[in-house]
Amino acid sequence: GEEHVRTGFPILYTSADSVFQLAAHQDVIPLRELYHMCEIARQMLTGDNAVGRVIARPFIGTPGSFTRTEHRRDFSLQPLGTTLLDLLKAEGKDVIGLGKIEDLFAGRGLTRRDHTETNSDGMKATLHWLEQDFNGLLFVNLVEFDMLWGHRRDSEGYAQALRDVDTWFAQVQEVMRPEDAIFFTADHGVDPTYHGTDHTREQVPLLAFGVPVRAGVNLGTRSTFADLGQTLAQAFAVGQLAAGTTFAHELGLL
C-alpha cells in the first residue's frame, strides 16, 4: 500500500479463486479510473486467459491503517449458459438484483437492479421491494459478511451482523405476503475464527420459509448449489436448467 501511494501504480494480486484484483487508494487512483482499468482487464481476460471475475478493490487511510471501502466492484464473465435469471426474464417475470447480484451475473437476466454496498442498505432495500407489487424473484446479496468480517476474520463483527439480520428478519416477516417464499443460502464458507484470509470449507445453510413452504422438511445435504436454482425454475414453471435436482415437491411448491 505504501509503495502504491508513493509510485501511483495500482496493486495487482490474485487469490485461490478465479479472480484478478486491482487495488488502489481512492486519493491516488479515483474510483472511476480504477473501474475503467478493471473494464480493460475484463476485456483482456477471456478465452484462454479467462478468469471468473475482475475485482476493483478501493481503499482509504494511511500506511499502517489502510481500510477497504464499500465501493468494491466485480466485473464478471458472462454466464456460460442459461441461468434462472434468464428463464424468469424471458417469461416476463420481474428479476430484481440487490447488492452484488448485478456484478456476479454481468448484468444479465435482471429487469431491475439496486447496487447496495452495505448490509444495512441491502436490508432496507429488501424491505422496500417486498412492499412493492412485483411478480418474480428478489435476489439479495448481503455483501459485508464476506467483505468485512469473513475474510478479515472479525468474529465479533460477524456475530453482530448475524444479530442484525435476525432483528431485520422480524420486519421481513411483517411485510411478507401469503404467496411469498424466502430462501436463505450462501455460496461458500468464510469462518471468521479460522486462520488466514481465504474461504473455508463449511457446508452452507439452506433454509426455506413462507406460507407456501411445507414446514419441518429436512432438505438433507445437497450435491450442488444448482438444486436451489432448479427448484425455483420449477416453482415458477419457467423451464428446466441444465444442472440441479429440484426439491420443489418436498416443499409443497407445486
Q: Rounded to whole angstroms, how far apart are CA atoms 238 and 88? A: 6
114 shares a domain with 230 = yes
Structural domain ending residue among the three candidates 45, 76, 107? 76
Query: Which tens digit of pLDDT belongs to each residue from 82-110?
Result: 999 999 999 999 999 999 999 999 999 99
Query: Which tens digit of pLDDT belongs to each residue from 124-135?
Result: 999 999 999 999
97 shares a domain with 174 = yes
146 shares a domain with 130 = yes
Helix axes 119-130, 155-175, angle to 10 degrees: 10
Query: What CATH number is associated with residue 198?
Result: 3.40.720.10
228 shares a domain with 198 = yes
Structural domain ending residue among the three candidates 42, 76, 110? 76
User: Locate cell 441461468: which residue?
Assistant: 83
209 shares a domain with 148 = yes
Q: Rounded to whole angstroms, how far apart are CA atoms 210 and 7? A: 55
Domain residues for the domain of 70 are: 2-76
Mean pLDDT along residues 175-203: 94
Check pLDDT > 90 for residue 212: yes
pLDDT at 70: 87
Structural domains of the chain, count: 2
What would the grid cell of residue 115 be? 447496487
Structural domain ending residue among the three candidates 28, 50, 76? 76
41 shares a domain with 161 = no
Q: Tell me the pLDDT of the chain averaged across its residues.
A: 95
186 shares a domain with 155 = yes
pLDDT at 197: 87
Mean pLDDT along residues 222-235: 97
